[in-house]
Structure 1
Amino acid sequence: NHDFWGTLITYIGYVFLFVGLFVSLFWKGTHFWKLNNILKQVSKRKLATLAGLLVALNLQAQTVPSIQNNAQNSAGRSMPATRIIPAEQAAANTHIDKDHADKFGYLLVQNYEGRIKPMNTMALDVLRKLYKHESFHGLTANQWFLAISTDPMLWTQVPIIKVGPKGGDELKKLTRANDDGYTSLINLFPAGPDGMPHFALEREYNIAFRKKPAEQTNYDKEVIAVNDRVQVFNGILSGQYLRVVPVKNDINHRWNSWLDEKFESDKESQDVMGPYFMSVVMATQNGDWQKADAELEALKTYQQTWGKNVVPSETKIKAEVLMNKLNLFFKLLIFYTIVGGLLLILAFIELFRPSKILHRAVQVIIAIGVVGYIIHLLGLGLRWYVSGHAPWSNGYEAIVFISWVGITAGLALYRNSNALIPAAGFLVAVIMMGFAHGGSQLDPQITPLVPVLKSYWLIVHVAIITSSYGFFALSMLIAVITLMFYIVANRRVFKRHNEKTIRELTIVSEMSLTIGLFALTVGNFLGGVWANESWGRYWSWDPKETWAFISIIVYAFVIHMRLVPGLRGRYTYHVVTMFAFCSMVMTYFGVNYYLSGLHSYAAGDPIPVPAWVYIGLATMTTLSIVSWLRYKKHLTADKKSEWLED
């Protein structure tokens, strides 16, 4: 980037590329323009058929805490040798006032990454990690967190640590988990021969930890996961999640709990925190929460006084708590599942029994879906405001954003009352958001950006590239739907719809692929500009860069298949489109978790290839073979050939 003229000429070349790609979408006579015109002329008859599409994702998060520190920390505490307290009883005996707990949720706390956030966010994060739910037997996350913070030793007797089913009966027996799959801390630290507590899974953990991730069994993974949850509980006992006291005049803006960063007693913090937590204990006994409210306000005032340089605005605090309460994206997952499912069902019925009533019902459902789509956009905007950065900066945010783009693609390319197109868009959101809320590696919590990402290039480069994934996903789902149609359609239905609805779906798929390819190409070149401005080089063969380049080549081949004799058939196009999406899966997920590089999260040994990859490939292969046999039979009977549009 020290070569002024070379850089200038290169950037001018990029501009010509971007302008050329953009203009080709609208210039009269281009292939995209022809496709759009053909689409407008296609009959308004509709098609819908999708027997089922289920993607099961089971990615396990791997962390590597120290079991020795875990045992030492627990050994240093006097574990109460008392009976186990049932979870329902513990919740019923918790007398934390809900109104006060709601106020407590607005208290600020600093996490280990240095982010200042409301206590409500911290409480939800901890409860999700420990208990795998966002409430505890009628207690809100705020109530539960305040209760366990004021009497942590009591809660060591409560079965609150999740033991997943992957460990089987053997692990449940070893951890003494109940029928619901929960155990307590004292169950995990029984007294040894010396009378001191020891970690019940120490041997199993050491064995599992020594194995490479690819060699770990489900039992090993669950042992490690249980240990991670024990570390979370230890964090509660040591006050790691109660860093609510700003250190006066600290240049690093550190906040402490009753322990400082060296886990040594901090008298000043104890003097600040002590009156509040003592007032909470008293209030649980006498039911008078006025003093606790006053002490909480005093603590908030202290934070505003000594942490004024880093505390977020009151509006932003309220916005984050509102975002937590709404839990929009999980609710939208359910909403999109209903809308997409209804669209598919009604479109399938309309295929055989078209009527005005069905047509109107489809329009109403699409309109309802658009309302959810707008709420989705507002949710992204709210997360942007709360986090202070574009909502596509980590794995969870990117998946949620791609979901929105998938719906955008389905609605933007919706033509001629073909309900399958928007339905496919909603299904993209269902699959993506299902992964976002079901994959253990995608943490919904907001994380600070590393310095290099604090750039306007994040908004431009990442947004354009991730947008392309939504268009590619839409084309992939259209391909699956089309192949399913070939399988389930009889000769009469095939003859009626192959040259109308399937042709329309193929055109929409081509248009979606074209937009996705252009976005991926532009985003990739903009990444080169960002790299040149930041590090002085355009390209470094980083795994993400390389696989993005591979994906560009793959999809460029797909949209040019119409020019290759022998590859112009619609069946061939849809099969290749379906398998081409594997390159995007590798570009996004594979690079992130299997290859080490600037754009990835991988380090050291890669995690095992999840089972859904093999299941997906087997399903696509089976779908391709069966649909080909049916397609060939239909085409032979119809005595016609069908091609992609010229």
Structure 2
Amino acid sequence: MQNPLKKTLFALYVLVIVCMAAATVVEKYSGTDFVRSNVYGAWWFSLLWAVLTAAGIIYFLRHRCKSWSGIALHLSFVVILAGAFVTHVSSERGTVHLRQGAYINTCVMYDRHNQPHDVQMPFQMRLDRFDVQYHEGTDAAEDYVSQFTIIDHGKQYSGKVSMNRIFRYGAMRFYQSSYDNDMLGASVSFNSDPIGIPLTYTGYALLFLSLVYMLFDPHGAYRKLLRLSHLKKGLMMVALLFALGSGSARAHVLSKESADRFGCLMVLHNSRICPLQTLAVDFTKNLYGKASYDGYTPEQVLTGWMFYADDWMQEPMLRLKGAAMRDRLQLPEYVPVGQFFNSAMGGYTLGPYVQEYYGGNHDAFHSQVAAIDNKIQLIMELRNGSLLKLFPYTYKGNTTWYAPTDSLPKTMDREHQQFVRSIFFLLSDYALTSDYAQMDAVVGKMLKYQQKNGGASLPSDRRVAAERIYNRIPFATILFMLCLAMGVISFLYTIIRMCREDNGANAKGANGNDGLSVCSKRLHVSFFVVNYVVMLLSFCALTYCEYLRWTISGTLPMTNGYETMLFVAWLVQLLALVCGVRFRLLVALGFLMSGFFLLVSHIGQMDPQIKHTMPVLNSPLLSVHVSIIMMGFAMLSFTFISGLTALLLRLVSRTAQPKMIQLQQLSLVFLYPALAALGIGIFVGAIWANVSWGEYWGWDPKEVWALITFMIYAVALHTRSVPQLHRPTAFHVFMTLAFLTLVMTYFGVNYFLGGMHSYA
């Protein structure tokens, strides 16, 4: 009876995972409303979860689990699903569109199939004021705030909602949704779920406690695993094959000293006030793909285009990244901007292709043309001065930064207007005559002007110093090359040592002597010490990089794809250092995995630029949620590379079974806390979602794939129910393939599926 039940349970488990995965793909092409109505909100989806839960309860009771942590953990899932069902059938949600000064007593409510209906509310609401709060001196939104009044049976109650701050009225929870373009109206969403939320939160609390207890239960499987003799002695080996996988005439530039002084000016760039050096770095990377060109600093490149544009139009520094454009137009990878301006061919030669792109032709060639056109437009903005918002003006406590070509406010006195309009003509004259002393004096006046008129928008000296250091040192580039090089060296060394160990074991079996010499053992210890010291230095450098980004942005560096890749690499190195003393294998694994994550951040399409945090991410729960999830991802990366190592050993050695068992045990050492981190991270994320959007689970693609990842990796801990995973080969194959779900959760959602959680 148990075997058919097990097969049924397994089939239902797989079916739920497949349905959720398919729904995320369908959502990309058919829209969120479609999958909410036809999948997540459909009766059959709820029934599928209910049948899976019932089958799981019956199987669990027949299995007679005696572990309190296991009982509590599985009970938490039942409570969470019960809470989700109650929320699904009894909760109410809707949206109220408010206009300033108008009394509103109707709202739009959504049924279980996500269909909207107009409903009359039992009270009236009036919008008193809506504000978009900006970061000082920029157009970057810091928060959206709606202040309103509720009129209920003649009594008035004041309410206020903003991002990550809800307002409760009875059983209803109001939160900020959107606003009207004229700033005189706002949409406030609400949610009423007085039973489902407490029940679900109870399940999450039980999940949290059981996951933590699972790691510390003295009679649990994890503590028994840690007491294995192989792990106590740390006798493990590493093996992993990791394949990795033009001159021109010198253009005129400012002297390095004058260009560097120019880079000390502040500018409004990427909706924040930062050193002009940052704009120069981003400008040079955008055009050339690197932070410097032909030995010139980014400040020299930027000022070169500002003051000697005709020369720089002939410099081959515009990188054509796409092969389709190069092949069709027969161009090299790097071309001068002037290549695309030819009076004999009608002026701007890319113009017709750009029009075809915006006319709807988005093939590879036209997409690449549009990307190059954007780069050329950036140069044009620099040449006409609109890119250089260098001049702050503070009026009634509000600071705005202007470019010399902007329309200046009438309240600005004439002397200041004349200064803004004429300063670049004066700088250009000094640049053309190479009068750097006079140029430096004018730049000094500009600095004083900024300090006098910048008000509270100017960043602190500490933040500026941190940003200038960060701009000068390519941390990710240096560290990914170092880590991957050390990883490859460790691989080659390990292969040699593994062969010697096998030969030594055979020699000892034949004549009773130890096949490894004392010298060889000392070499192994020395090699580990060198590896550990280099890892420590790399960790310190990466920590300093993270500190600089934190200082510059004012928030923990975890808000976009680039920052999370750096953070995962940092976590991997931290784990390798902490655990590497006991398990020497982890130092080499740490080099490889941190090098991989740094490489992804370096060569991927992630944006390394530092920007203000979006209002919805401005919550203390962000750092907790992201750091715990990323900790889980970092530990799962160790299980992946351990699996690859074991499978490679099986291919190259006939006596690999003992090492594969040891690597299986090492994977389990990381798998237990990794699943605990994922579960706790999802729990914290649910609280954050409930505070920000009024619902703890929204079936966003990132949420769904995080759940899928958790469910698939959890299978590896159920070896009594899936005895095939006792075998090292099957276990390592499963763990290697399971890593694809993590890749999908992070990269697939960010770059393919999209959704509320997608960021790059």
TM normalised by structure 1 equals 0.78
Match for 1:258: what amino acid? Answer: P
> Residues 415-466 of structure 1: CA distance to partner in whole angstroms, max 9, x if unpaired?
65543x2212211111111111111x21111111111111111111112112
Mapping for residues 58-457 of structure 1, pairs under 5 Å: 88-91=248-251, 93-94=252-253, 96-111=254-269, 113-164=270-321, 166-167=323-324, 169-173=326-330, 177=331, 179=332, 181-191=333-343, 197=347, 199-208=348-357, 216-217=363-364, 219-249=365-395, 253-260=399-406, 271-273=418-420, 276-278=423-425, 280-284=427-431, 287-353=434-500, 355-356=520-521, 357-414=523-580, 418-419=584-585, 421-439=586-604, 441-457=605-621
| 1:376–1:167 Cα change, 3 Å | same
Deviation at 1:235, TM superposition (A): 2.3
Corresponding residue number in structure 2 for 1:577: 735
Counterpart Cα distance in 2 of 1:310 and 1:166: 43
Corresponding residue number in structure 1 for 2:664: 506
> Residues 277-307 of structure 1: CA distance to partner in whole angstroms, max 9, x if unpaired?
4554454455543332222122112212222
Pick from 204, 223, 233 the counterpart of residue 14 of structure 1: 204
Pick from 619, 624, 633 the counterpart of residue 460 of structure 1: 624
Counterpart Cα distance in 2 of 1:261 and 1:337: 51
SS of 1:116's equivalent in the other structure is strand
Q: Is residue 40–residue 416 contact of structure 1 (8 Å, CA) maintained in 2?
A: no
Q: Is residue 161–residue 185 contact of structure 1 (8 Å, CA) maintained in 2?
A: yes
Q: Is residue 280–residue 298 contact of structure 2 (8 Å, CA) maintained in 1?
A: yes
Deviation at 1:43, TM superposition (A): 5.2
SS of 2:710's equivalent in the other structure is helix
Counterpart Cα distance in 2 of 1:49 and 1:426: 13
> Residues 15-67 of structure 1: CA distance to partner in whole angstroms, max 9, x if unpaired?
33223212321221211111111165565544232233457xxxxxxxxxxxx
Deviation at 1:520, TM superposition (A): 1.2
Deviation at 1:270, TM superposition (A): 6.5
> Residues 533-592 of structure 1: CA distance to partner in whole angstroms, max 9, x if unpaired?
122211111111111111111111122245423332111111111111111111111111
SS of 1:559's equivalent in the other structure is coil
Deviation at 1:510, TM superposition (A): 1.3
| 1:166–1:569 Cα change, 3 Å | same
Counterpart Cα distance in 2 of 1:202 and 1:24: 64
Between Structure 1 and Structure 2, whose CA radius of gyration is higher?
A: 2
> Residues 354-379 of structure 1: CA distance to partner in whole angstroms, max 9, x if unpaired?
52212322222222212211221221
| 1:206–1:515 Cα change, 3 Å | farther
Q: Is residue 121–residue 324 contact of structure 1 (8 Å, CA) maintained in 2?
A: yes
Match for 2:339: what amino acid? Answer: N
Q: Is residue 357–residue 366 contact of structure 2 (8 Å, CA) maintained in 1?
A: yes
| 1:205–1:137 Cα change, 3 Å | same
| 1:284–1:88 Cα change, 3 Å | farther
Corresponding residue number in structure 1 for 2:12: none
For the pair 1:592 / 2:746, whether they are aligned, the reply is: no
Q: What is the root-mean-square deviation of aligned Cα atoms in Å?
A: 2.9
Match for 1:312: what amino acid? Answer: P
Match for 1:200: what amino acid? Answer: T
Q: Is residue 475–residue 512 contact of structure 1 (8 Å, CA) maintained in 2?
A: yes
Q: Is residue 320–residue 326 contact of structure 2 (8 Å, CA) maintained in 1?
A: no
| 1:5–1:253 Cα change, 3 Å | farther
| 1:484–1:261 Cα change, 3 Å | farther
Structure with the bigger percentage of strand: 2
> Residues 301-353 of structure 1: CA distance to partner in whole angstroms, max 9, x if unpaired?
22122222211101110110001112222211111112222222222222123
Match for 1:318: what amino acid? Answer: A
SS of 1:247's equivalent in the other structure is strand
Counterpart Cα distance in 2 of 1:433 and 1:274: 44
| 1:394–1:272 Cα change, 3 Å | farther
Counterpart Cα distance in 1 of 2:437 and 2:335: 36
> Residues 192-250 of structure 1: CA distance to partner in whole angstroms, max 9, x if unpaired?
57xx62x312343444556686xx33x44432332222222222223233110113427
> Residues 378-422 of structure 1: CA distance to partner in whole angstroms, max 9, x if unpaired?
211221111111111111111111111222333444365543x22
Counterpart Cα distance in 2 of 1:249 and 1:545: 45
Corresponding residue number in structure 1 for 2:696: 538
Task: Report % sequence identity.
Answer: 29
SS of 2:267's equivalent in the other structure is strand
| 1:544–1:41 Cα change, 3 Å | closer
Counterpart Cα distance in 1 of 2:757 and 2:461: 34
Q: Is residue 253–residue 310 contact of structure 1 (8 Å, CA) maintained in 2?
A: yes
Q: Which moved more, 1:239-248 or 1:441-450?
A: 239-248
Counterpart Cα distance in 1 of 2:490 and 2:399: 53
SS of 1:573's equivalent in the other structure is helix
Q: Is residue 280–residue 289 contact of structure 1 (8 Å, CA) maintained in 2?
A: no
> How many residue pairs end up in the alignment?
549
| 1:475–1:269 Cα change, 3 Å | farther
Q: Which moved more, 1:122-131 or 1:527-536?
A: 527-536
Match for 1:32: what amino acid? Answer: Y
Counterpart Cα distance in 1 of 2:234 and 2:747: 38
Corresponding residue number in structure 1 for 2:644: 480
Deviation at 1:123, TM superposition (A): 0.2
